[in-house]
Structures are given as structure tokens and as C-alpha cells.
């Protein structure tokens, strides 16, 4: 390093590698942009409620009414609150003291037709020749059911059955006989059959659950009848009966209240007439005493 040029390296003394690296770092541009901050997350209770959220809460309230957890007045008040709610925080207090019956029912239904680890059971054969045959209640539905009715009747009720597999095929033959099939509302019902001088009526139904089992009815009816349709659950019938009983009790209470009010009006009118007659009698007696004096 030369002393005459103030300690700066001259042409004969080039800068070292460390000094070159320091100069390159000094020449790097400075980032003047500011890092954007994310907006604060919205609390779950402040989220806007959708129509599906309101319908889900309303379904829980309907089941609570059917089970007797709510009376009709409480149910009406809460339903009004549900359809007026705008956020999830306004929906949550409505069902805070109720079990999530809708989710429990859906989970129970899915468990009822969850595929089992074992192999499918043997075919179920139902034969009715000048007689009647039925299969109902809680039972494991096999993959194939064969029903034959000759001058007889066969009843197949799957509303309480457990479905180890996703598809059940029912082969029916009705000759001068009848075959009646009932399935739950939460499954898919299909048919491929015909009637020969008879009726083959299958009410096709599509389940909203993509994992729901499928029941396919095949066969024919010769001078007979085959009928298959979904069956409403017991809780719907209970709800209808409860509403009917509630309306009947309300009419009875209104009738009794009207009778009591009418009786009270008659008593008040009778007392008013008696008091009026007593006042007239008193005035007449005073008048007679005055005339006699």
C-alpha cells in the first residue's frame, strides 16, 4: 500500500478478494417494499350462516319436538330464531341444550349399512304357495333375495335391516299372488321388471347419501302384483301423532276456557240484576215511608 495516496491501493496494488466482496455487498439494492400483513381471521361465530346451516339446525329442532324434548311453543320460537339468524354465533345457542340428533341419526344410518369385514351371507329364499311368507324386523340383508308367490303373499320389510353390502338384488315372481317390498327412505331403489296381465309397481327413489346402499327389484308378475316403495320412518309418524294430539288438547283447552268465560258472564249478569232489583226495592221502600210520613 502506498503512503503517498492516503493508504489507498494504487494501480500496482489491486484490492484483495475480501475488499471486492465488501464493495459488491455495498452496491446491492436495498429492498424498500414492505411485507404485507395478513388480515385477521374471522371468528367462527361471526361467519355468515348459509341456508344449509339453517336447515341443519331446523332439522335438529324438528327431531327434538318429535322426541318430546321441546313443546310446540318452544319449537316455534326457536324455529323463528333460526330463520332470522345471520351468523353461526346466533344459531349455536338455539341447539346448545339439545343433542345433535340429526348428526347422530345420520351416523346411525351409515353404521346400519356399513360394509362388514366378513363375506356376504347366503341367499334368502321366500316361498308362498297358497300361504303367506314374511321377513321383517332387525336382520342382515343378504346380497340376493328370491321371492316366489303362487296364490300366496310374500312380504319383505327392509326398513330395520342391516346392509353388509352396498347392493341388494331382489328377484321376484308372482303368479296369482302378491309380493310387497318396503325399504327405508335413506337408500336408493331401482327396478327392472314387468307385469303380464298383472301389476309391477316399483317407486324409484334416489338417496341423498352417495354411500347409501342400492336395492334392485327384478322379476315379473303374471296375474299378480309386485309392489316396492320407501317407507316413512317411525319418528315421522310419531311427530304427526304428537302434532295431532297437541291440536286436540289445544281445542279442548279453548273449549273449556270458552265455557268457563260464558259461565262467568252469566254469573256476573245474574249478580248485576240482583243488585239492580235490590236498589229498586230499597228506593221503593224509602218512597213509601216518605208518603206514609
- 42: which residues sit within 8 A by CB, 6+ positions away? none
CA distance 192 to 176: 20
- 104: which residues sit within 8 A by CB, 6+ positions away? none
Partners of 229 in beta bridges: 182
Q: At how many degrees (to 10) do helices 72-84 and 51-66 cross?
A: 170
CA distance 92 to 97: 10
* Cβ neighbours, 10 Å, residue 173: 21
Task: Provide the pLDDT for residue 114.
Answer: 47
Domain ranges of the chain: 45-112, 124-231, 234-263
Each residue's pLDDT, cut to its tens digit, for the chain (293 residues) gives 444 455 455 555 555 555 555 555 555 555 554 454 555 555 666 788 877 788 788 878 877 777 778 877 787 788 888 888 888 888 888 888 887 644 444 444 444 444 444 455 688 899 999 999 998 888 888 999 999 999 999 999 988 888 888 889 999 999 999 999 998 888 888 888 888 888 898 888 787 777 788 899 988 898 999 998 887 655 555 556 667 777 778 888 888 888 888 888 888 888 888 888 888 888 888 877 777 65
Task: Provide the pLDDT for residue 103.
Answer: 45
Q: At how many degrees (to 10) do helices 101-112 and 51-66 cross?
A: 80
Task: Provide the pLDDT for residue 2.
Answer: 47
Evaluate whether 180 touches 231 at the Cβ level (below 8 Å). Answer: no
CA distance 219 to 126: 14
Amino acid at each position: 500500500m502506498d503512503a503517498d495516496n492516503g493508504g489507498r491501493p494504487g494501480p500496482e496494488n489491486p484490492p484483495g478478494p475480501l475488499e471486492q466482496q465488501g464493495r459488491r455487498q455495498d452496491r446491492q439494492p436495498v429492498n424498500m417494499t414492505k411485507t404485507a400483513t395478513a388480515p385477521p381471521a374471522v371468528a367462527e361465530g361471526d361467519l355468515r350462516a348459509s341456508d344449509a346451516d339453517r336447515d341443519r339446525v331446523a332439522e335438529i329442532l324438528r327431531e327434538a319436538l318429535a322426541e318430546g324434548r321441546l313443546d310446540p311453543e318452544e319449537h316455534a320460537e326457536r324455529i323463528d330464531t333460526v330463520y332470522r339468524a345471520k351468523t353461526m354465533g346466533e344459531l349455536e345457542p338455539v341447539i346448545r341444550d339439545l343433542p345433535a340428533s340429526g348428526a347422530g341419526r345420520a351416523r346411525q344410518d351409515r353404521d346400519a349399512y356399513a360394509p362388514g369385514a366378513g363375506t356376504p351371507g347366503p341367499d334368502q329364499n321366500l316361498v308362498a304357495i297358497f300361504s303367506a311368507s314374511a321377513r321383517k324386523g332387525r336382520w342382515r340383508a343378504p346380497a340376493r333375495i328370491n321371492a316366489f308367490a303362487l296364490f300366496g303373499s310374500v312380504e319383505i320389510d327392509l326398513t330395520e335391516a342391516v346392509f353388509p353390502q352396498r347392493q341388494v338384488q331382489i328377484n321376484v315372481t308372482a303368479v296369482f299372488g302378491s309380493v310387497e317390498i318396503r325399504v327405508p327412505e335413506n337408500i336408493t331403489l331401482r327396478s327392472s321388471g314387468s307385469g303380464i296381465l298383472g301389476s309391477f309397481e316399483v317407486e324409484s327413489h334416489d338417496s341423498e347419501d352417495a354411500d347409501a346402499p342400492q336395492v334392485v327389484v327384478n322379476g315379473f308378475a303374471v296375474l299378480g302384483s309386485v309392489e316396492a316403495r320407501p317407507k316413512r320412518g317411525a319418528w315421522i309418524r310419531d311427530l304427526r301423532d304428537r302434532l295431532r294430539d297437541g291440536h286436540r288438547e289445544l281445542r279442548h283447552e279453548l273449549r273449556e276456557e270458552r265455557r268457563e268465560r260464558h259461565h262467568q258472564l252469566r254469573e256476573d249478569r245474574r249478580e248485576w240484576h240482583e243488585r239492580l232489583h235490590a236498589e229498586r226495592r230499597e228506593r221503593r221502600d224509602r218512597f213509601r215511608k216518605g208518603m206514609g210520613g
